[in-house]
Structure 1
Amino acid sequence: MILRKYMSLLGIGSAKIDLVLPKTSFKQGELLHGYFFLEGGVIEQKLRRVECDLVMLDNNGKEEKIIDSTTVLKSDIIQAEECNKLSFTYRIPETLPYSEENGVRYLFKTKLTFDQGVESLDEDYITIDQS
């Protein structure tokens, strides 16, 4: 049991997060409904928060600009191998440049933070299309 605990502190067998979206292409001002899928690791872990940033990448993929951030304070315990869903609702900003016209890409960067251990990360690319 102690070995499992130390392995999860290093990120091996720790809980994971995945942002699940209904599609990958959205319009300016569109309201999207998805969810965070939380999957427990090999031991129980205490969750601290879920952070999700909407990030714009330049056409080279070298420069990032955070457009918006959402934080869900989730002081909870996820049991070993337990699966949970946490609702996610987000409105795409009205003024966001279109993906194709400006040669930019967008992604949601999601991070699950624990009281102890390595953070779980997830990235989901999206496009912003013209109406």
Structure 2
Amino acid sequence: MNTKLKSLIAVVSLLALSVLFLGIVYDFKFTLANVSNSLFVVNIISFVVSFMIHTGALRLTLGVSYTTKTIFKRAEMRDKYDGFKEYYEEKAPNQARNLKYLLIINLVFIAAALVLAKVHLDNYTLQ
């Protein structure tokens, strides 16, 4: 799938999640503060997860995953892997992905949320 299509899907999904958040938390009251908060919360969470995937930081959880699987699926793990090293070498390359497009989209939405918050605060202090 090309990056333009992935970006379009990401934008639509993040906007839909923001509207869903707005509906659940703020009962669809479209104020500057509520829209700003909804955009910020959804996109900061997405940004952190995307950043972890992009940098391969999820490799840190492979030890926990290996230990858990070894406890609950002992025979299967023993047959498939001699030890953690083999497990890590198989799983680690799949932990990082190029998500620059998603990080950029998240940053744009976070910036938009901050601008809306600034406008709201400027209007609030003038009243």
TM-score by length of 2: 0.22
Structure (1/2) with the larger helix percentage: 2
Structure (1/2) with the larger strand percentage: 1
Larger RCO: Structure 1 or Structure 2 (Cα < 8 Å, ≥ 6 residues apart)? 2
TM-score by length of 1: 0.21
